[in-house]
A and B are shown apart, each in its own frame.
Chain A
Amino acid sequence: MAGRRVLITGVGSYLGTELARRLERDPEIEYVAGLDTRPPRVKLEQTDFLEADLRNPVITKLLPQAEVDTVVHNQIVRRPGPGMSPQAMHDINVIGSLQLLGACERSPTVRTIVIRGSAGIYGSEPQAPQFFTEEMARLYPLRTRFQRDVGEIENYFETYSRRHPQVTCMMLRYQPAIGPGTDSQVTRYLGLPVVPTYLGFDPRLQFIHVSDGLDALVASIKNPLRGAVNVAAPGTIGLTKMIRLAGKASLPIPSPFFPAAATLGRRVGAFSSLSPDFRRLLRYGRAVDTTRLVEEVGFRPRYDAVAAVEDYIRTQSGKRIVPTFRDLVGVS
């Protein structure tokens, strides 16, 4: 397939900008357009920047004009940014996705839609299987607002996929990203001087290294599949191990007091916020099965769950003034 034309939403985000840069250099890609309200992180030479809000119906006119064959939806907000209300986050996620799908419906050239969704749809449950496979999406009730948002997006997307069999609709379910340069809930959490944990819980966690997250997205654009695909580093890491590797002190809080403590922490400015999703993750953890990503998409992440965390911590250690326990005892 020569000369593909790609549109990326959320091009102002770290991953969006990096993806546009990668696709610009790719000989298979003829044209790249980026849609966002924020400009890209760095100046992009060949990318067409369309300044528009996903929530604005104007995109139903913009998209058909771009005559793209592939749409990459990379604007699902996982954590409200500064000054963003939960309502705005919901609007961007649900209304934005709905508008985008509506715009795709008006664009006869679109053949492939890839959504960078979230593994949050599986939830974090004490009785959950150790690894969620793609068909276990609605095993448990959707408990948080973000989960319900993701659930709605997946529903719309499934309906769209049924109505338009000529379009390959791929839903990527991303685990939280970690790595140098990322600003996510995990990196903020690990950046706290003392990290709050649930007393007596040591959940199994799983992340995706940012560079693997980008490569997985590129691989999916190159080889799109129908349906959902989990994107995560293979294996799991325990929260306690992660905190100890980062050389942090943890503050165990009994579970009944955790929400109150989190609110208090936000009030006194100790940390921005721990979303309900993230709190459940800290208590019960979550891991997904990546067989489909490896075998069908043909992408094998370079960092496993432990290596992804270690790589992030390595890049952070240069910014530290006080030596950690690890430095003192000389563990390498």
Chain B
Amino acid sequence: MSVRPGDPSVRRVPPSWAPPRTPPTPDAAPFPLGTALAFLRRVRSGVESGSDPAAALAAAVGGLPADAQAGIDRAVHRLAGDYTEDDWGFDEEFAEAVFPLLEFMYERWWRVQVDGVVHVPSHGPALMVANHAGIVPWDGIMMGTAVLKEHPLPRYPRFLVLNWAFNLPYVSFMLRKVGGVVASPYNAMRLLEQGELVGVFPEGVKGAGKDFKDRYRLQRFGRGGFVEIALRTRAPIVPVAVVGSEEIHPKIGESALLARATGAPYFPITPTFPLLGPLGLVPLPSRWRIEFCEPIPTEEYGPEAAEDRGLLFELSERVRDVIQDKLYENLVKRGRAFA
């Protein structure tokens, strides 16, 4: 059966027991200009009528709509240090606040279609293994958004991020606040022992620095460390194929000189970066498909199997094959990247 892109039959089919999805709400209003102007007018009239600026401001805040008031209240509390982060720096309130932006990227920018999201366990430890591209882990973030949006029992996943990102100002703590963690086997073990859902990209730097012509060709999966961790913690492995992420920054070359100057593992050159400066960092709006494949259980092997090199490579290869097959399948289903 040939499937054309945009064919309604390839859309995700929610399982029968999943709660019915509410139709997407009509667009949220653009920036509420009228409200803002009214607010400023109230402040001004307050000051003109003789009250001091602070009191005028407080009175004007009282006239704002309830959700705006709640937002201001929350912002004030955050400024006073009244917010919680877990041991890893994950800040649920922050993650919730940026979710609309991620939702926009997900629905409008990349028009992500998702298959098999129910394969992600709704509780307990699990390891999602995916193909990788680009230093900013948009693929990980979109996987997380997919789980949050589409899963019947949504949960916040954590993902292991290339170490280098934690040397970048702002990126370092922003990533941490939404669930990013330094890619280290110790961290992965600890997260899984705590029963978290963890996303990893075993291609690592080799995947992130892929040339555009090599897109969707999986690189070597390291030394199979992710299998070892899954075996030790008895966490199921969920292979994930992400199509679309490897076109958002088409890398056509790299500069060893600039890499050395910035301390980066590699310095990509794309048609827009560094030509357009920071604007070149805006990812291209390719169309995406994410498929979560059937989990591979690891319980049957027992934790001592983690010492078995042969088994590690075998399982690692199996996961790699699954992802590679699904990548080709979804590439065909998706059709052209920029249509």
A contact residues vs B (CB 8 Å cutoff): 126-131, 133, 136, 198-202, 204, 235-238, 240-247, 254-255, 284, 287, 325-326, 329, 331
Q: Do A129 and B169 have beta carbons less than 8 Å apart?
A: no
Closest chain B residue, CB of each to CB of A239: B173
A127 touches B184 (CB 8 A): yes
**Bound: A204/B166 CA distance, A:** 12
Are A238 and B172 within 8 A (Cβ)? no
- A201 and B169 within 8 A (CB): yes
Does B99 reach chain A (CB closer than 8 Å)? no
Which among B76, B77, B190 is the interface contact of A130 at CB below 8 angstroms?
Answer: B190
On whether the beta carbons of B169 and A130 are closer than 8 Å, the reply is no
The smallest beta-carbon distance between B175 and chain A, in angstroms, is: 11
Asked if A202 and B173 sit within 8 Å, CB to CB, the answer is: yes
Q: Which residues of B contact A284 (CB under 8 A)?
A: 166
Separation of A45 and B81 alpha carbons in the complex (Å): 44
The number of A-B residue pairs with CB atoms under 8 Å apart is: 90
Q: For residue A245, which residues in chain B have a CB less than 8 angstroms away from its CB?
A: 80-81
Instruction: Give Cα A157–Cα B127 distance, bound, in whole angstroms.
Output: 41
B261 to chain A, nearest CB (A): 13
* Complex partner residue of B182 from A130, A198, A199, A242, CB under 8 angstroms: A130
Q: How far is the CB of A221 from chain B (nearest CB, A)?
A: 29
In the assembled complex, B163 has its CB within 8 A of some CB on chain A: yes
- Min distance, Cβ B229 to any Cβ of chain A, angstroms: 13
Taking A127-B184, A129-B187, A200-B172 as contacts, is the C-beta distance between A236 and B89 under 8 angstroms? yes
Residues of A near B82 (CB, < 8 A) are: 331
Q: Name B89's closest neighbour in chain A (CB-CB).
A: A204
* 22 examples of A-B residue contacts, CB within 8 angstroms: A126-B172, A127-B164, A129-B182, A129-B187, A131-B87, A131-B186, A198-B169, A199-B169, A200-B170, A200-B171, A202-B89, A202-B173, A204-B89, A237-B85, A241-B85, A243-B81, A247-B80, A325-B79, A325-B80, A329-B76, A331-B76, A331-B80
State how many angstroms separate the Cβ of A98 from the closest Cβ of chain B. Answer: 33
- Residue B328 is within 8 A (CB to CB) of chain A in the complex: no
The answer, among A129, A199, A238, for a CB contact under 8 Å with B89, is A238
Contact of A244 among B81, B87, B164, B182 (CB under 8 A): B81
List 16 other contacts, CB 8 Å, given A200-B170, A202-B89: A129-B186, A129-B187, A131-B87, A133-B186, A201-B169, A202-B172, A202-B173, A204-B176, A241-B85, A242-B81, A244-B79, A244-B81, A247-B80, A325-B79, A331-B76, A331-B81
| CB–CB A131/B166 < 8 A | no
Query: Residue of B at shortest CB range from A326?
Result: B80
Candidates B83, B164, B182; contact of A241 at CB < 8 Å: B83
**A236 and B87 contact, CB distance less than 8 A:** yes
Report the minimum CB–CB distance from A122 to chain B (whole Å). Answer: 12
A126 to B87, CA, bound (A): 16
**In whole angstroms, what is the CA distance A329 to B79 when docked?**
10
Q: For chain B, residues 61 to 94, give those with C-beta under 8 angstroms from any C-beta of chain A.
A: 76-83, 85, 87-89
Beta-carbon contacts under 8 Å, B166-202 to A = 166-173, 176, 181-182, 184, 186-187, 190
User: Is B80 a contact partner of A244 (Cβ separation < 8 A)?
Assistant: yes
B98 to chain A, nearest CB (A): 15
Kindly state the separation between the CA atoms of A198 and B168 in the bound complex, as whole angstroms: 11
Q: How many Å lie between the Cα of A321 and that of B81 in the bound state?
A: 20
Give the residues in chain B near A246, CB-CB below 8 Å: 81
Contacts of B190 in A (CB 8 A): 129-131
Name the residue on B nearest A285 (C-beta): B89
Known: A199-B169, A201-B173, A329-B76. A129 touches B184 (CB 8 A): yes
CA distance A222 to B166 in the complex (A): 41
The listed residue with most A CB atoms (<10 A of its CB), out of B79, B80, B82, B173, is B80
Minimum CB–CB distance for A200 against chain B, Å: 2
C-alpha gap A130/B78 in the complex (Å)? 24
Q: List 6 A-B pairs, minimum CB-CB distance, nearest first.
A: A200-B169, A244-B81, A127-B163, A202-B173, A129-B186, A245-B81
Closest to B83 in A: A241
Query: Which single member of A133, A247, A255, A325 contacts B169 (CB below 8 Å)?
Result: A255
B188 to A, closest residue via Cβ: A129
B163 cross-chain contacts in A, Cβ below 8 A: 126-127
Q: How far is the CB of B337 from chain A (nearest CB, A)?
A: 33
Inter-chain CA distance A243–B181, complex, in Å, is: 23
In the complex, which residues of chain B have a beta carbon less than 8 angstroms from the beta carbon of A202?
A: 89, 172-173, 176
Measured CA separation A126–B169 after assembly (Å):
11
Contact yes or no, A287 B87, CB < 8 A: yes
CA distance A133 to B187 in the complex (A): 11
Contacting residues, chain A, for B172 (C-beta < 8 A): 126, 200-202
User: Residue of A at shortest CB range from B170?
Assistant: A200
Smallest distance from the beta carbon of A295 to chain B beta carbons, Å? 15
- Closest-by-CB residue of A relative to B172 is A201
Question: Which residue on chain A has the smallest CB distance to residue B181?
Answer: A130
Q: Give Cα distance in the complex from A236 to B166, angstroms.
A: 17
| B81 interface neighbour in A130, A241, A254, Cβ under 8 Å | A241
B132-185 residues at the A interface, CB under 8 angstroms: 163-164, 166-173, 176, 181-182, 184
Identify which of B81, B167, B184 contacts A326 (C-beta below 8 A): B81
CB nearest neighbor in B for A284: B166
Whole-angstrom distance from the CB of B182 to the nearest CB of chain A? 6
| B77 with A331: CB separation less than 8 A | yes
Q: Give chain B residues whose Cβ lies under 8 Å from the Cβ of A287.
A: 87
Count chain B CB atoms within 10 A of each CB in A202, A242, A255 and give the residue with the most.
A202
Q: Please name the residue on chain B nearest to A329 by beta carbon.
A: B76
- From the candidates B76, B80, B85, B182, name the one contacting A238 in the complex (CB within 8 A): B85
| Alpha-carbon gap, A133 to B82, bound state (A) | 30
